[in-house]
Amino acid sequence: MQTKLLSILIAGVLAGCSMAPDYQRPNGDVDSSGWSNAESQVSNATVLPDWQTFVADPRLQSLIQSALENNKDLRQTILSVASLRAQYRITDSDRYPGLGVSGSSTRYKVNDAYTGAGKAYVSNYQATVGVTSYELDLFGRVKSLSDQALETYMSADEGRRSAVISLIAEVTSSYMTLMANQELLSLAQETVNAYEETLKLVETRYKAGYSDALTLAQSQTALHSAQATVAQYKLAVAQGYNTLRQLVGAPIQDRLEGKLPMEEGQILSELEVGSSSDLLLSRPDVLAAEHTLKADNANIGAARAAFFPQISLTAGAGTRSNSLDGLFSSDSGYWTFSPSISMPIFNWGSTQASLDIAKITKESSIIAYQQTIETAFKEVSDALLGQQYYMEEWTAQKANLKANKDYYDLAKMRYEKGNDSYIDLLDAQRSLFSARESELSSHLNLLTSRVSLYKALGGGWKAADEEQATSVAHALERMDQRSEQESDAE
């Protein structure tokens, strides 16, 4: 008996020796150079602010908070993470022996034809505590499967972080687009008002004989065109509210009147560019790709272990008696010990093919990891370029808007004095409207590129992780509450 116990202890010590390759982060083929502005500006280690600091507009902060609590896509992602976490716990539990308790009672009749001693009733009682079928993980197969499940869960959790950051960026961009469209709607309405005043003036001059029918028709055409533009922006504003409503996942109580502020820091805080390239390796999507790679690496260990024997054992100890009062007597005990072994001998190359697939899958994950890093550098480069050139464009557009405003004021004054034709005034009005549209568009592009840069650099993912650290637990709690409500209703 002692020899058997010693054998079990030795097997337990040997259990869990992994046959997975030693993991090393692949970085030799990842070249960060060549991305315009990315490698030169992303150099000094800094920490990105959390989103509550980056987003300065209180109304926008409220919308983002509501979206983090109610967005349906994010809640689906959270539930998927919860499911994978539970799956990991199931897989990891296979590493340890399970204990079971069972009891049984049997009573049956034996007749004279069988015993020759007359009718008799036989009773049997049994109680057992034992180890359910447990695989001695001598070659690390179960440990590798547990590691794979853990890394898969962690990869999904990084995906949750990415979903949080993407949602923050989407709500912010949609909010700013709505503000821009509302400003364009206001601008279009102002243009309609200006055309209406001009039309009145043209009609007065036409009745007095100072203007011709062509000028009157041109004025009417300009007015109707502006009215059509107003309808277009009304549609854009209404659809913008719908987009925000879907992202937030709840009704938007207050009307979001306003426009994009001209001053810095009123809607988005200034973002200090100068983050270490190591920060890009902490982006959730990069971490998710690395966890996937680790999971595939662990799967190789499981595939290798499949070549070796699988040893399982079932053991139990209990008491057995023909009478209930003797069930726990000193002479009623018994024990069982049932080891088993299985080993592949010939399966037409299936085991080798499974190992080959595991190795190929890992190589594919290495490429995917490197592609994710390259995507990170590209996104940072694009956003940095956007910050630089959209700022130059916005500066030029503001100067162009001022020049067109002066041009319009002068053209209006000269037309009212009869020095210029209506064509000159109409051209000035159209140029002014176009300049205002262009200035607003470049301003929106500048702010949107700042959001893109914040997201590309990792988007304050640490703060997002802290805020959502208990999101899985909350999701499970909501499911438990819903189950209790359904049970009460039944």
Residues 191-228 have pLDDT tens digits of 899 888 888 888 887 888 877 888 888 888 989 999 99
pLDDT at 182 over 70: yes
**347 band by pLDDT with thresholds 50, 70 and 90:** confident
Do 206 and 330 lie in one domain? The reply is no
- DSSP secondary structure string, 428-445? HHHHHHHHHHHHHHHHHH
Q: What is the pLDDT of residue 234?
A: 94
Does a structural domain hold residue 241? Answer: yes
pLDDT, mean of residues 378-390: 88
d(CA 198, CA 225): 14
Count: domains in the chain:
2
The answer to the question of residue 5 being in a domain is no
Average pLDDT (142-171) is 90
Domain check: are 329 and 462 in the same one?
A: no
Note whether 321 and 417 are same-domain residues: no
CATH number reported for the structural domain that contains residue 318 in this entry: 2.20.200.10
Helix axes 350-416, 284-305, angle to 10 degrees: 170
Please provide the distance, in angstroms rounded to a whole number, between the alpha carbons at the two ends of the chain. Answer: 55
What pLDDT is attached to residue 482?
61
Reported confidence tier of residue 303, pLDDT bands at 50, 70, 90: confident
Q: What is the pTM of this model?
A: 0.80
| Residue 192 DSSP SS3 | helix
Residue with the bigger pLDDT between 275 and 331: it is: 331
Q: pLDDT-derived band of residue 3, with 50, 70 and 90 as boundaries? A: very low
Q: What are phi and psi of 262, to 5 degrees?
A: -80, -25
Residues 396 and 452 in one domain: yes
Q: Are residues 203 and 278 in the same domain?
A: yes
Q: Is residue 485 part of a domain?
A: no
Mean pLDDT of the chain: 79
Query: What is residue 268's predicted lDDT score, i.e. its pLDDT?
Result: 86
Amino acid at 412: K
Q: Are residues 320 and 464 in the same domain?
A: no
Asked if residue 263 is part of any domain, the answer here is yes
Q: Is there a domain that residue 269 lies in?
A: yes
Residue 190 included in any domain = yes
Please give the pLDDT value at position 99: 73
The answer to whether residue 7 scores a pLDDT higher than 60 is no
Average pLDDT over residues 16-37: 67
What pLDDT shows up at residue 9? 43
Model confidence over 37-65: pLDDT tens digits?
A: 554 554 444 567 788 888 888 899 999 99
Would 351 be classed as within a structural domain?
A: no
- Report pLDDT digits (tens) over 95-108: 777 777 777 777 77
Residue pLDDT, tens place only, 153-166: 999 999 999 999 99
Whether residue 350 has pLDDT greater than 80: yes
What pLDDT is attached to residue 322? 66
246: Cβ contacts below 8 Å, ≥ 6 apart: none
Q: Note whether 465 and 335 are same-domain residues.
A: no
**pLDDT band at 14; cut points 50, 70, 90:** very low
Q: Looking at the structure, do residues 263 and 332 belong to the same domain, yes or no?
A: no
Residue 384: how many CB atoms within 10 A of its CB?
23
pLDDT, position 395: 93
pLDDT at 405: 93
Measured CA to CA, the distance from residue 378 to residue 42 in angstroms comes to 12
Mean of pLDDT values over 306-326: 72
- 85 and 181 share one domain: yes
Cβ-contact 67, 167 below 8 angstroms: yes
What band does 28 get if pLDDT is binned at 50, 70 and 90? very low
Can you point out the beta strands (E) in 3-119? 99-110
Torsion angle of C-alpha atoms 206, 212, 214, 216, degrees rounded to 10 = -10
Has residue 483 got a pLDDT over 70?
no
Q: Are 264 and 160 members of one domain?
A: yes
Distance CA 456, CA 169 (A): 10
| Domain, as residue range, for 126 | 99-136+311-342
Residue 74 has pLDDT above 80, yes or no: yes
pLDDT of residue 141: 84
CATH number, domain containing residue 246: 1.20.1600.10
Do residues 15 and 87 both lie within one domain?
yes
pLDDT at 49: 79
* Closest of 256, 278, 277 to residue 267, by C-alpha: 256
Which runs of consecutive H residues, i.e. helices, occur in 306-421?
350-416
Mean pLDDT calculated for residue range 406-424: 84
Q: Is there a contact between 93 and 143 (Cβ–Cβ < 8 Å)? A: no
**Residue type (1 letter), 321:** S
Residue 486 lies in a domain: no
- Is residue 154 domain-shared with residue 114, that is, in the same domain? no
What mean pLDDT is predicted for residues 416-428?
80
